[in-house]
Amino acid sequence: MIGVKLDHMVALVRSLDDSLPWYTALLGLIGFARTRDHVWLNEDGLAIELKQATPESRDYERYSPGLNHLGFTAPDRAALDAVRRGMAAAGFEVPEMQAFGDETATFFRDPDGMRIEVTVYG
């Protein structure tokens, strides 16, 4: 089997001005470091980049905002709680946690409504 792994994700957002503070807060809380304008990297080498969507685009077009959700795993419930507290302290909405059997997740929504999941398994 070839050792292929997820390398990067690009999110097109309606407003970089609105989205950068939100992503800066969340990504910093879950272990990403900003490496250059609009790009964050984690210790596994996964890069997340934000780009400005074209203003005239509609939802679900190639260059418009869109992503069902991006999921991250927290090592334990304390880590998930720390992310939730950090987002609240940064002034962002923190949705209720959801339970799925042995999993507990929070689906944060960025300024465009895209969902970023942080889950604890087990």
What's the CATH number where 22 sits?
3.10.180.10
Question: What predicted TM-score, i.e. pTM, was given to this entire model?
Answer: 0.80
- Flag whether 61 is in a domain: no
- Flag whether 46 is in a domain: yes
More confident residue, 28 or 55: 28
pLDDT at res. 68: 65
Return d(Cα 39, Cα 96) in angstroms, integer.
28
Q: Concatenate the DSSP letters of all residues of 50-78 into one string.
A: EEEPPTT--TTSTTS---SEEEEE-SSHH
Q: Which residue range is the domain that position 17 belongs to?
A: 8-55+67-120
pLDDT at res. 22: 96
Structural domain total, the chain = 1
More confident residue, 69 or 3: 69
pLDDT tens per residue across span 67-115: 667 889 899 999 999 999 999 999 999 999 999 999 999 999 888 888 8
pLDDT at res. 97: 95
- Flag whether 60 is in a domain: no
- Flag whether 112 is in a domain: yes
- Flag whether 3 is in a domain: no
- Flag whether 14 is in a domain: yes
